[in-house]
Structures are given as C-alpha cells and as structure tokens.
Amino acid sequence: MQFRTKSFFGDDERELLLAFFELLDAHYNKPHHYLCGHNIREFDIPYICRRALVNELDCPSILFDHGKKPWEVQHLDTMEMRKFGDKKTYTSLDLLTRVM
C-alpha cells in the first residue's frame, strides 16, 4: 500500500485543472485507486466540477458517483466515514484530528 501526494499551483486555473485531470486519468482510473479527503463528496468534487464547467473542461469519470453503487465509488470521505450513518452529524476536520 502506498500513500502519495501531489501539489498543484499557479495562476492559470484552467491549466491547473487540466494538470489535475491528467493526473486522475493517468493514475486513478483503476479499481484499487481511491481519492480521499474530508468532505470531498459534498465540497471538493462538486467545486472542482463547477470550476471545470466555467473553464469549459470535461471532468474525469472518477469524479462522478451519481447512480453508482457504494462499492463502485472510488472516493473515501473521512467526514462520511466518521458519521457512522448519522445524517445529521457534521464532524470538522479539526475535531477529527484532535480525537485521532
């Protein structure tokens, strides 16, 4: 098992998105690769997809989970994992890191 990180920076949002999408297409289109983040499904992914729309770009298929079964979704959302099924709960990343 490996953990990898990559940073993207620059002033051109379209170029940043393109570089990120190229990374996703090249390395995260396999069943055993997952995207992980805190509140990634309710914030990060929708935000990235909206910015892609503004920049006239197509989002990679890994970012779409609509209509997929839970075991087909390639995202690990730490906020959802720590809700333990409770729909009314919000766990901040700060609280999660302090507890763990």
6-10, 13-17, 33-37, 87-91: range with highest mean pLDDT: 13-17
Residue 85's pLDDT is 66
Domain count along the chain: 1
Asked if the structure places residue 25 within a domain, the reply is: yes
Asked if the structure places residue 1 within a domain, the reply is: no
* Whole-angstrom distance, CA of residue 55 vs CA of residue 53: 5
Asked if the structure places residue 40 within a domain, the reply is: yes
46-50, 76-80, 82-86: range with highest mean pLDDT: 46-50
| Beta carbons of 49 and 65 less than 8 angstroms apart | no
Residue 22's pLDDT is 94
Indicate the length of the chain as a whole number: 100
Provide mean pLDDT across the span 6-27. Answer: 93
* Whole-angstrom distance, CA of residue 7 vs CA of residue 69: 30
Asked if the structure places residue 7 within a domain, the reply is: no
Averaged pLDDT score across all residues of the chain: 83
**Residue 65 reports pLDDT greater than 90:** no
Could you tell me the residue range of the domain that residue 48 belongs to?
13-99
Residue 47's pLDDT is 94
Q: In the chain, how many H helices and how many E strands?
A: 4, 2
Asked if the structure places residue 8 within a domain, the reply is: no
